[in-house]
Structure 1
Amino acid sequence: MSLQKSSAAFKASLSSAASQLPARPKINPPPPPQSAPPTTSTNATAVKRKRPAAPPAPVVYSQPSDTSLQLQHILTQVHHAVQYLKEKERPMTPREITGYLSIDETPQLLHYLRGHPKLKWDEQNQAFEFVPIHNIRSATALLAFLQNQPTAAGISIKELKEGWSGALDAVDKLEAEREILVTRTKKDNQARMVWGNDKSLDVQVEDEFKDLWHAVKVPPYEELPGMLEVLGLKPTSLDPAKMKKEVKKVERKKRANNRRVKVSNTHMSGVLMDSKALRSGLQ
């Protein structure tokens, strides 16, 4: 038997023996550990650690939301248009306003002009008009306004000039005619307030009474309180709380010196001498 045949017979016996062995069981890998569900405290901690959302920026209502250069340009033109209508003191069409401003008439410009609190839009005449605080533009309208006041309230010159450029000249003329009463500033004598002058309250005083009135000599203001005190009268301008009360001086009697002194050197009465006698002798 050759060597090759012996080797082939050995391999055949090994293969048959291997086929007779039981099959090796397959071992599945262990499943991955499942994480425990988060507890309530963990959720609460996660919620607490969450940063709050940033608060929204405050809205400034006095400024437009759109701050583009185009909008700023339109608002500037609206301001100039309001001042132009205030100076002209008459209704004006949009074409007249845009012609003065040298700009085109746009829907956005008309929108801001119609929404301005100082302007009124007349739909029938298609015109804008400036609306002052008081609709007074003449001397007659001013007198009528003051006469119709339920109280004695006046009117400020500042409010009067807002819708009437010739207010100061008319006030000076009416004051000279004694139709109104005017208060003025001390520094530059500018009119501040205006009241109506009710001429029915004017009283004609006779010249004789005027002469008697002016014949009474009134002392100067500085000497008046002293003269009233001399006459036994108390000035009304003197505050009683500030009046100095006269303090009467009470003469106090000198108390006699009754202090008892115990003499302890009586055995030396002949030796000691009074120093007063020595001083008198020296003099």
Structure 2
Amino acid sequence: MSLGQERDAFKRLHRPNYASWHSQPTPLNSTSSAAATPAPVPAPITASTSESTSTPSAKKKRPKTNIVYSQPADTGTGTNVNTQLVYAIDHLKSTHNPMRLQDIAIVTNTPLETDAVLLEKFKSHDRILWDPKTDLYSYRHEFSFRNKAALLTEIQRQTRKGGGIPVRALKESWKEAPLAIEELEKEGDVLVTRTVKDGQLRMVFWNEIKPDDESGGKQVEKEFFDLWHSLKVPNDVDLLRALHAEGLQATAEETPIPKAPSNMKKKGKRSAPRQRQAKITNTHLKGEIDLSRDYERK
């Protein structure tokens, strides 16, 4: 066998699969120049290319929206008169400057100028002040102060009455009130209670005892503070046992005053006794003696 025949037999054994080709290659028994040039290898067909050729256009993804369908949509001030009144009053409450009626209507988008019922309710509100000279409206806050000294005076006045002031009410009257209260707390002029969850200012009281060496009033050391809060009150059973072991006795509860029965008549003025009409039985004396008359003995 010649060298050319062996080459042709080798090519027949390793002949590639032309079934997936789009065009048929040149036959093997062509001229030597055509056989010498290698045939182009087709690109492999993947799933993505097959899908792109089969479907004319790919599906577009829907844009994601942040709409919460479980909550009602914000429709502004609404059409209810009371809702519009709340919007107008809240806006006037948030600002400390007097405003014109036209400006309030524009900012809050409420028909204050055209709706007579809404305007009447707005003017008759107990917190709305109207100046007839300037035709301006303002909100009457619970407190009227604009500086730190006036704030301390208001806290002193309220503490002398026997109570503190909520910090929220002070903030509505003056936005800088919380910062001023924290400064007064550091200076020792006021005492503040805070929320357990996030430590926000809750109530403020005037500190009558100044923190100095003569009168005291200094902050308790943290060691004693922790010892106090580490004490635990026992339950009722253990507490009674501990008192009995020390020879003590628990105080008795206050006995409730018995209530009067509900079926008794209320105390009041006594009415005059009702006179019953006597029945006359001596009819045989009728005409001779007047039985309805009282006869006195002589």
TM-score range, shorter chain: 0.3 to 0.5
* Higher relative contact order (Cα pairs below 8 Å, separated by 6+ residues): 1
The structure that has the greater radius of gyration is: 1
More helix by share: 1
TM-score by length of 1: 0.44
| TM-score, normalised with respect to structure 2 | 0.42
